Structure 1
Amino acid sequence: MITYRDVGMTYGDKTILKNINLTIEDGELFVLVGPSGSGKTTLLRMLNQLTVPTAGDVYLDDRKIKTYDVRQLRLHMGYVLQDSCLFPNLTVADNVTIQLEQQGVGKQQRRERAAELLTEVDLDPEQYADRYPHELSGGQQQRVALIRALATAPKLVLMDESFSALDPVLRQKAQELVLKLHQTYRPTIVFVTHDMQEALRMGHRIAVLHQGELQQVGTPNEILRHPANDFIRQFFGSRQPHWWQLAYLVQSGLLDQVTVTDQLPVLTQFSDLITRLQTVPQLAFQYQGQGYSVTREQLLTYLGQEGSGTDARTLAND
């Protein structure tokens, strides 16, 4: 578990962070989101001692991070930056397992681990293990950077604007890959982004930062439905992802059409549908003059396809 207690950060007379109190649970995919200059990267860098707070303390497993040996802390932690930062003179396999080498793991074990992870991200070890970074595309390099962060099976992985340099198609694929790998390996992931849709898609929970202050912490559903203030309302309001729209759900082809009757409730908001399906296993409703029927299973399928793991868990655990 990660805990920020009364954390602040100043550079000279400039306040970067002010009185941050925040807890991140083990196994969460936790997103820090906010405009440029909001302090999110500074908050992330405190977890591997690249930045030390000027006020308060950050705890990892109930121990102050500043008391950990820096080298050992970083050797057992994954870190994925915007630039893949692969070593150009090392092969793909050696890049993936460089932390394992520093931990004293033998060559054969490292080779096997690299092959296992490359397979996970659809890079055939026979074809890619002995290539060098310059022989990979940008998307392939970022996949290698991601599995390098997982090679030691760390409990914690830090991701700082990791996909912002990718084009929209590659970015979506990278997001899907992280969600898949998180489901498989279950590390705690702290993910920094300035992109609201990326935050909504990726986060189990989201912390919204603005001008160095924490504005709200909640699930994507909570933040969209109950924004804490005008800043959050404006920040997210006009940028709801396409999957958070009834029109897109209807067009998905997953729903059954039914005859319209006066008894069918008229729905206009996707959030209303989720709320109703938390109390009943199946719902018939009207939308734009047409009748539809949806079960929890159908909606879970839809949310799973669109990467909205949080709302899927909300329904599944109800």
Structure 2
Amino acid sequence: MITYKNVGMRYGQNTILRDINLTINDGELFALVGPSGSGKTTLLRMLNQLTVPTDGDVYFNERKIKDYDVQKLRLDMGYVLQDSSLFPNLNVEDNIAIQLEQKGVSKAKRHQRAAELLESVELDPKKYAKRMPSELSGGQQQRIAIIRALATEPKLILMDESFSALDPVLRTKSQDLVLKLHQQFQTTIVFVTHDMQEALRMGQRIAVLNKGVIQQVGTPHDIMQHPATDFVRKFFDTKTPHWWDMEFLIESGSLKKIPSDKNLPVVTGFKQLMNQLGEKSDFKFQYRNVSYAMTAQELVAYLGQEGGSR
């Protein structure tokens, strides 16, 4: 669990963050969203000691972040930046396994782990393990950066505007990949973005920041239906429908939760669910390790209530 207690950050006369109190639960995909300069990246960087708060404390597993050995702390975390930040002089396998090497893991185990992770993102290890970053497309580089963050099986992954440099198609594919991997590994992910649509799609819960102050914390459904401030209302005001988000659908109560069944097909997005219910009258599936059922009639009712009125 991550806890910010009365956290503030000042640079000289400039106040970057003011009295932040926030809890992020284990296994949660938590989004920090706000305009440029709102303080979200500063909050994120406090988790790996790249930034130290001038007021208050940040806790990870009930221990102050500042009390951790910084090298060990960072080796036990994943970090995905805006660009892939792959080491150009290392091949794909060595890029993926670099933290494992620093932790003293044997070469054979590093090779095995890299192969497993490449397969998890549908990149054949025989074809890609020995390639150099310059031989990869932008989307492939970002996939490597994401699985590199998973290599040590960390309890926490930090993602800072990780997809903002990608074109819309690659961005959506990268979002899908992270949602899939989060469901598979259940790692805590703190995801920074300035894009409210991305925050709604990715975050199980969202903290909205503006000028160093938290405006609201809640589920996508809470924030869209019950904005706490004028800033939140205006920030999320868009002509683009928001009912397509799976978390919004779940929060609406339109899905029926059923006993867990690992054999059910996995759904990662609302469009995929709509496609299935366009072909059949009812559908049972898994989403983020929870099993649900929905009928085509229930979907039509949901679209009429949530989508048709907007």
TM-score by length of 2: 0.82
Structure 2: 5+ residue runs without aligned partners? 259-263, 275-285, 294-310
**Following superposition of structure 1 onto structure 2, how do residues 70-81 of structure 1 map, counting pairs within 5 Å?**
70-81=70-81
The 1:306/1:163 distance shift into structure 2, 3 A limit, reads farther
**Following superposition of structure 1 onto structure 2, how do residues 172-187 of structure 1 map, counting pairs within 5 Å?**
172-187=172-187
User: How far 1:238 moved relative to its partner?
Assistant: 1.2
**Following superposition of structure 1 onto structure 2, how do residues 226-241 of structure 1 map, counting pairs within 5 Å?**
226-238=226-238, 240-241=240-241
User: How far 1:304 moved relative to its partner?
Assistant: 7.3
Give the 4+ runs in structure 1 shifted more than 6 A: 271-274, 278-281, 309-316
- The corresponding residue for 2:277 is none
Q: Letter of the 1:86 partner, please give it.
A: L
The 1:101/1:276 distance shift into structure 2, 3 A limit, reads closer
Q: Secondary structure at the match of 1:237?
A: coil
**Partners of 1:280 and 1:315 in 2: how far apart?**
4
TM-score by length of 1: 0.80
Specify which of 234, 254, 268 is matched with residue 277 of structure 1.
254
**Partners of 2:257 and 2:141 in 1: how far apart?**
45
Deviations for 1:111-135, whole angstroms, at most 9, x for unmatched residues? 0100000011111101000000000
Q: Letter of the 2:39 partner, please give it.
A: G
Q: Letter of the 1:231 partner, please give it.
A: F
CA contact (8 A) 2:82 2:163 kept: yes
Q: Secondary structure at the match of 2:108?
A: helix
User: How far 1:279 moved relative to its partner?
Assistant: 8.9
CA contact (8 A) 1:219 1:310 kept: no
CA contact (8 A) 1:303 1:311 kept: no
- The corresponding residue for 1:35 is 35
User: How far 1:305 moved relative to its partner?
Assistant: 2.7
**Partners of 1:59 and 1:109 in 2: how far apart?**
32
Structure 1: 5+ residue runs without aligned partners? 250-270, 282-296
Specify which of 269, 283, 303 is matched with residue 270 of structure 2.
303
CA contact (8 A) 1:4 1:20 kept: yes
**2:8 is the alignment partner of 1:8:** yes
The 1:206/1:306 distance shift into structure 2, 3 A limit, reads farther
Deviations for 1:44-73, whole angstroms, at most 9, x for unmatched residues? 000000000000000000000000000000
Aligned residues: 274
Deviations for 1:209-267, whole angstroms, at most 9, x for unmatched residues? 0000000000000000000011111100215445449xxx9xxxxxxxxxxxxxxxxxx
CA contact (8 A) 1:196 1:239 kept: no
User: How far 1:157 moved relative to its partner?
Assistant: 0.1
**Partners of 2:257 and 2:96 in 1: how far apart?**
47
Deviations for 1:176-209, whole angstroms, at most 9, x for unmatched residues? 0000000111110000000000000000000000
The 1:8/1:121 distance shift into structure 2, 3 A limit, reads same
What percentage of residue pairs aligned between the two structures are identical? Answer: 67
CA contact (8 A) 1:304 1:312 kept: no
The 1:302/1:45 distance shift into structure 2, 3 A limit, reads closer
**Partners of 1:138 and 1:114 in 2: how far apart?**
19
**Partners of 2:186 and 2:66 in 1: how far apart?**
25
**Partners of 1:70 and 1:301 in 2: how far apart?**
35
CA contact (8 A) 1:243 1:306 kept: no
- The corresponding residue for 1:56 is 56
**Partners of 1:310 and 1:23 in 2: how far apart?**
24
CA contact (8 A) 2:8 2:56 kept: yes
